[in-house]
Chain A
Amino acid sequence: MSIDKETARKVAKLARIKVEDDALDALASEFNAILGFVEQLNEVDVDGVEPMTSVTPMRLKRREDVVTDGDQQTKVLANAPDARNGFFAVPKVVE
């Protein structure tokens, strides 16, 4: 499987990372080097093998459905690049 410039553009868009047009060819070739390396996985017979979901067998714990945290608006907003009136501020989303 080979990644071309258009696929690289699409992946960058999906990842929400701006990549200039003149950098896409180099990016595609790096992707191809990495994906070429992982192609080896096709040699392995994985018929009937379950994909790993948890590396140590464990059952996730349950807890009471009660509020355990919250009421920390100032702390939550303390690191925001732009916070106003108790909210995170972003460019206009809805026209």
Chain B
Amino acid sequence: MSDLNTLTIADARDKLRAGDITSVELTEACLNATAAAEKLNAVVHHTPDLAVEQAKAADARLKKGDAPAMCGIPLGIKDLFCTKGVASQAASAILNGFKPEYESTVSGQLFDAGAVMIGKLNMDEFAMGSSNETSTYGNVLNPWRADGNDTALTPGGSSGGSAAAVAADLCLAATGTDTGGSIRQPAAFVGITGLKPTYGRCSRWGVVAFASSLDQAGPMTKTVRDAAIMFQAMAGYDPKDSTSADLALPDFEAAITGDIKGKTIGIPKEYRMDGMPDEIEKLWADGRDMLQDAGAKIADISLPHTKYALPAYYVIAPAEASSNLARYDGVRYGHRAALGQGDGITEMYEKTRAEGFGDEVKRRVMIGTYVLSAGFYDAYYNRARRVRTLIKKDFEDVFAQGVDAILTPATPSAAFELGQEFDDPVQMYLNDVFTVTVNLAGLPGIAVPAGLDGKGLPLGLQLIGKPWEEGELLNIAASLEDRAGFVAKPAKWW
């Protein structure tokens, strides 16, 4: 059977359970696709032996009739997740050679459910970036290209390898993480679905920390239904993460009923940015019509503190990063710099961190150090945390008015060219303008592919839901997906 790697999770699950295909066949199709896609640089640590071993175990489980939904499904795992005995570097040179002695809770839950890992996926270093250009492994190429143009495009970031791998059918789905938009922006750039769950839904244990109050793992999949299936296996209470929510999990796939009649969808006026491309504006208006057509009510809403979300983020995230990344000191794991005669422990720290961290990571660690330093803590860090309270209140207010979900564009543009020179780092940060509010407010958000731009590149819409209401959010997203009817795939050139 050919092209098994192009299956969705839902279809593969049904075929596996019916005995039409085996996980070994499915896994080999993915491994072959992966081996033929080295140009994309999406998979950075290949684990074919482990994959076949896991697939065989999955087939045995399937045969016994004891098979959870993810059993036998080949996945890519973002390099940010610690995977036992397999290199886990957060795409940083400072973790060169690091092979964890333990498994992250999320990847462990997926493997317990029978999922198969084809390898570890490229990303921005420590998840800091929006173009996957800060990785120690080099750039990931977007499988999509503009019509009649061979210029290499970014798959977005930080989960750029996950996005490219799923869009190019190297695996059926992938894990991502999202601190300011790192699941939703790359998903939109490659025409796939990306869910950032409510903060606390997926355990952060064993996921290399960037900004602990914002980080959340989630699925990156080909369809909304697949997101629901994979999310079910990733989510749940974990005593090892003190911010993990001890709440019962609903059946997320069952929440997709196709009925959104009477739901109220908010359209926030503050997301209409100056200079927003007409194509994005039109996509957004189309999305609004699609949801209305599906029976939803549309309401114009206001989220007044939206414009302060990015500046607040660029205080809070670096502050938390500077604290989290203090652990990379050349003592316990990863890289240690060669020392000169007379160098002491301080020189060891300073040289190790100078050699091991890339420029963007250094910049953010130092900005974080500055905003937390004596004399500036109140002016920057505490002020940003107060603004964060107001941003969250904006959402609470509209939900209290009866809004069920909020529709916005996912990104301010389609995928852009790799290697662009930006005058200052802030220009790159603007990629997250529509997504970062969601992290600051701890809400679930999902990017759904909704159309192509004039150059034939995918564009996505974002839906934002109420806390812990991922089921409802997935249901509304499925209606949008259904009406958008996005079926385009990148033409294979790699």
Contact = CB atoms under 8 A, between A and B. Distances in A.
A34 B366 CA distance: 11
Given A17-B354, A38-B315, A46 B387 contact: yes
B99 A46 contact: no
A61 B100 CA distance: 27
B442 A90 contact: no
A36 to B, nearest CB: 8
Nearest to B365: A15
A81 B336 contact: yes
A55 B200 CA distance: 9
A17 B365 contact: yes
B355 to A, nearest CB: 8
B336 A18 contact: no
A84 to B, nearest CB: 13
A41 B336 contact: no
Contact of B311 (A37, A78, A91): A37
A25 B81 CA distance: 36
A14 interface: yes
A43 B387 CA distance: 10
A67 interface: no
A91 B336 contact: no
Contact of A34 (B199, B351, B426): B426
Nearest to B99: A79
B412 interface: no
Contact of B369 (A14, A37, A41, A82): A14
Interface in B195-212: 198-200
User: How many interface residues does chain B have, given as a range?
Assistant: 35 or more
Interface in A33-79: 33-35, 37-44, 46, 49-56, 58, 60-61, 63, 72, 75-76, 78-79
Q: Is chain A's binding surface mostly helix, strand, loop or mixed? A: loop
B213 A14 contact: no
B401 interface: no
A12 B366 contact: yes
Interface in B388-424: 388-390, 392, 424
B200 A58 contact: yes
A33 B326 CA distance: 24
A14 B338 CA distance: 21
Interface residues of A, number: 51
A46 B373 CA distance: 21
B305 interface: yes
A55 B392 contact: yes
Contact of B425 (A16, A30, A76): A30
Contacts of B353: 15-18
B287 to A, nearest CB: 27
A78 B85 CA distance: 11
Given A44-B390, A56-B198, A31 B426 contact: no
B386 A50 contact: yes
Nearest to A80: B332
Nearest to B423: A33
B471 to A, nearest CB: 17
B104 interface: no
A14 B350 CA distance: 10
A45 B127 CA distance: 32
Contacts of A90: 331, 345, 348
A3 B366 CA distance: 12
Interface string B328-345: 011111111001000111
A52 B99 contact: no
B383 interface: yes
Interface stretch (B152-160, B169-177, B238-246): B238-246
B250 interface: no
B268 interface: no
Given A51-B389, A56-B198, A91-B348, A40 B365 contact: no
Interface of A: 3, 7-8, 11-12, 14-19, 27, 30-31, 33-35, 37-44, 46, 49-56, 58, 60-61, 63, 72, 75-76, 78-82, 88, 90-93
21 contacts: A15-B362, A16-B326, A18-B353, A19-B362, A31-B366, A34-B424, A41-B312, A41-B315, A44-B386, A46-B387, A49-B389, A52-B385, A52-B389, A53-B385, A56-B199, A58-B200, A58-B245, A61-B242, A76-B101, A76-B332, A90-B345
Given A7-B370, A49-B389, 6 more contacts: A3-B370, A17-B354, A17-B365, A61-B246, A81-B330, A91-B343
Q: Which 4 A-B pairs have the closest CB atoms?
A: A55-B442, A51-B385, A81-B336, A79-B333
